[in-house]
Structure 1
Amino acid sequence: MTQLKIGVIGCGSIAQHRHLPEYAANAHVEIVAVCDINEERAKKTAEKYGATAYTSYEELVKSGTVDAVSVCTPNYLHAPISIAALEAGLHVLCEKPMAISQKEAEDMIAAANASGKKLMIAHNQRFVASHQKARQLIESGEIGKIYSFRTAFGHPGPEGWSADGKESWFFQKEKAFIGAMGDLGVHKTDLLRYVLGEEITEVGAFIETSAKSFADVDDTAVCVLKTESGIIGTLAASWSYVGKEDNSTIIYGEKAILRLEDDSTYSLVAQYANGQVVKYELGKIQSNESGGQGSSHVVDHFVECVVEDKQPLITGEEGMKSLAVILAALESNETKTITRV
Structure 2
Amino acid sequence: MRTFRIAIVGMGNAGPNRHLPAIDAHPRAEAVAFCDLNESRLEDAASGRDIATYTDYHEMLDAEELDAVHLCTPPQTHLDIASDVIEAGVPVLIEKPVAMSSDEVAKLIDVRDETGTPVSVVHNRLFLPHVQEAIHRVESGEIGDVVSVTMLLSKEDDLTETFRGDWVFDLPGGELGEGSPHQVYVPLRFVDGLGEICGVGTQNYRNYEPPVEFDGAGVEALDEEGRRLISIKMLANSATRDTLFVHGTKGELQVDFVKRGVFVTTNKERYSAKSFATENASSTLQLVSNVLKTGVGFAKRIAYRKMDDSRSEESNGHYVQIDRFIEAVETDTNVPVTLEESLETVVVLEALEE
TM-score where L is the length of structure 2: 0.79
C-alpha contact (below 8 Å) 1:131/1:195 kept by paired residues: no
| Pairing 1:224–2:220 present | yes
Amino acid of the structure 2 residue aligned with 1:236: K
Where in structure 1 are there 5+ consecutive unaligned residues?
286-292, 332-341
**Higher alpha-carbon deviation: 51-60 or 13-22:** 51-60
C-alpha contact (below 8 Å) 1:12/1:163 kept by paired residues: no
How far 1:313 sits from its partner (Å)?
1.9
| Pairing 1:273–2:267 present | yes
CA distance in 1, matches of 2:218, 2:40: 39
C-alpha contact (below 8 Å) 1:219/1:240 kept by paired residues: yes
**Higher alpha-carbon deviation: 143-152 or 209-218:** 209-218
How far 1:122 sits from its partner (Å)?
0.1
**Other-structure match for 2:255:** 260
SS at match of 2:340: helix
TM-score where L is the length of structure 1: 0.82
SS at match of 1:195: coil
Gap change, CA 1:234 and 1:108, over 3 Å in 2: same
How far 1:271 sits from its partner (Å)?
0.9
Structure 2 counterpart of 1:235, from 232, 236, 244 = 232
| Pairing 1:3–2:3 present | yes
**Other-structure match for 1:295:** 316
**Higher alpha-carbon deviation: 142-151 or 30-39:** 142-151
**Other-structure match for 1:64:** 64
Gap change, CA 1:123 and 1:283, over 3 Å in 2: farther
How far 1:86 sits from its partner (Å)?
0.6
Matches within 5 A, 1:296-315: 296=317, 297-315=320-338
Amino acid of the structure 2 residue aligned with 1:323: V
Amino acid of the structure 2 residue aligned with 1:303: I
CA distance in 1, matches of 2:189, 2:25: 27
C-alpha contact (below 8 Å) 2:255/2:261 kept by paired residues: yes
How far 1:262 sits from its partner (Å)?
6.0
Matches within 5 A, 1:72-83: 72-83=72-83
**Other-structure match for 2:201:** 206
CA distance in 1, matches of 2:257, 2:323: 26
Amino acid of the structure 2 residue aligned with 1:106: A
CA distance in 2, matches of 1:53, 1:133: 39
SS at match of 1:202: strand
**Other-structure match for 1:179:** 174
How far 1:268 sits from its partner (Å)?
0.4
CA distance in 2, matches of 1:146, 1:237: 22
C-alpha contact (below 8 Å) 1:135/1:196 kept by paired residues: no
Where in structure 2 are there 5+ consecutive unaligned residues?
269-277, 298-312
Gap change, CA 1:81 and 1:262, over 3 Å in 2: closer
- Choose between structure 1 and 2: higher helix proportion: 2
How far 1:214 sits from its partner (Å)?
6.5
**Other-structure match for 1:338:** none
CA-to-partner distance for each residue in 1:13-41, whole Å, 9 max, x for gaps? 11122101101111111211111111110
Gap change, CA 1:112 and 1:225, over 3 Å in 2: same
**Higher alpha-carbon deviation: 107-116 or 36-45:** 107-116
C-alpha contact (below 8 Å) 2:6/2:29 kept by paired residues: yes
Amino acid of the structure 2 residue aligned with 1:255: K
Percent identical among aligned pairs is 25
**Other-structure match for 1:116:** 116
